[in-house]
Every structure is written in C-alpha cells, then in structure tokens.
Amino acid sequence: MVQLHSDRHTLRKKANQYLLLSIIFWTPPILYMVLFFLRIFHFQNALHLAPMLFAGAGIIFWRKYAILRVGLQGETKVANVLEKLPAGYKSYNSVRIAADDGQAEMDYIIVGRNGVFVVEVKNHNGTIVGKGADRVWIQHKVGRKGGQYSNEMRNPMKQVGRQVYFLSNYLKANDLDVWIEGIVFFSNDRVKVKVETEKGHVFTTSDELLNFITTYVSRNQIRDSDLTKLNKLLKMQ
C-alpha cells in the first residue's frame, strides 16, 4: 500500500478559520438588524450603514472558506484513490517549495521507482473547454434553474508546468536529476473535460490516473540511493 504523507489538516484548519471569521463578521449586522426592526436601537445618518461593512467582510471570508472546502473535497477523493497504489509508492500532500523567483504549492507529489509525478487536483464540475497553450480555460455550467453561464479558470496545465519547474530546480539543487511528469486530475464526478493538448496529461477518472502512474516508463529508473534521498527531501518540506 502507498505511504501517504498528508498536510490536509493545515488546509482544513485554514478553512475552519475562514468559517469562524465569516460568522464573527456576520454577527454584528444580524444583531443590528434585529434591534432595528424591533425599534430598540439604530444608528443615525451614515452610521446606519456601518454594519454593512462587517457584512461585506463576512462575505469575503465565507467565499474563501467555500473555495478551500471544495478543494479539500477534491483532495480527499484523490487521497482515497492514491491509497490503491501498490507498495513502493509514496505520496506527499500540499508540498510548498520556495525559491528566489517565487514559490509553488503542489497538491500531490507521488514518488515511485518508475518516476516522480506532480498532481494538480481540480474539483470543478460542468464542462471544461480549452487548449494546452491557452492562458485560461472556460468552465460552462448549468444553474439550478436551467440558466447557462461560463467562468474562466487559470489553465491548470500551465499551473502544473510551473510546479514541475520548481520541483525540478529544487531537486537539482540537491544533486538529484530525475524526470518529473505533471498531471492534472479533475476529481468531480460531474465534470466533462474537452481539452486539446499535445503536452501534459489530463485525467477525469481514478482508473486513468492509477493506470498512468503504475504503467509509466521513465527515461531512467530511479536508483535506491536517490529514491531514499528524494523522499527525505520531500518530508522536509
């Protein structure tokens, strides 16, 4: 069975913090509205709008919480999928690597004798359309009342390419030169991906993801000594 090194508790803690902040900032305007309609208390002039500032902050924190919650749902599904990998593989969740030219955070790094894989997890639903070279992809969705609308999302292929670049440089700086494959995995069961790309790998099912990793043939097998060093370096992140 694959060994999982998870940092999802950090994301869950951050999500809970945003949820708590949203409740804290929503409490004053709700309380004020109750007092106002009961004619117990109200501010004069422009101060009457002051509670709405708290409500605005509450909305911001709620949106941040909602984004992290969706991301955690996707990563939880991927963690369950990766547990099906055979013995010998190790998986690292939420790995951050910083360098002079910025930093990158990888949802998952999977290490096996046949290669290193960076997996960017997306939990979007709807229909995703785009090309490998596009700056953004388009997400088409149907609302609850049947209305259709579209959102832009940053091209995850470019995102995972940047992550591979940072990880490769980090390993080379520690005298490790291994080939790294970038993968984009759409974990939502209600997603359809219509993407044209010549480079990179985009999967929507757990079988596709597992089959690619386990049957992948690397340019060079990773030596035992390098594998030990590689796993040690990733545990430090």
- Scanning 3-155, the segments in alpha helix (DSSP H) are 8-37, 50-82
Overall number of domains in the chain? 1
Query: Residue 2 pLDDT > 70, yes or no?
Result: no
The model's pLDDT over 139-186, given as tens digits with 9 standing for 90+, comes to 998 877 777 889 899 999 999 999 999 999 999 989 998 989 999 999
Q: What is the 3-state secondary structure (H, E, C) of 160-211?
A: HHHHHHHHHHHHHHCCCCCCEEEEEEECCCCEEEEEECCCCEEECCHHHHHH
Query: Residue 103 pLDDT > 90, yes or no?
Result: no
Structural domain containing residue 70: 3-235
Residue 59: how many other CB atoms lie within 10 Å: 13
Q: Report the candidate in 155, 156, 185 with the shortest Cα–Cα distance to residue 80.
A: 185
Tell me which residue has tokens 């099906």.
Answer: 84
Assess contact for 139 and 70: CB atoms under 8 A. no
Query: Residue 56 pLDDT > 90, yes or no?
Result: no
With a threshold of 0.85, does the pTM exceed it? no
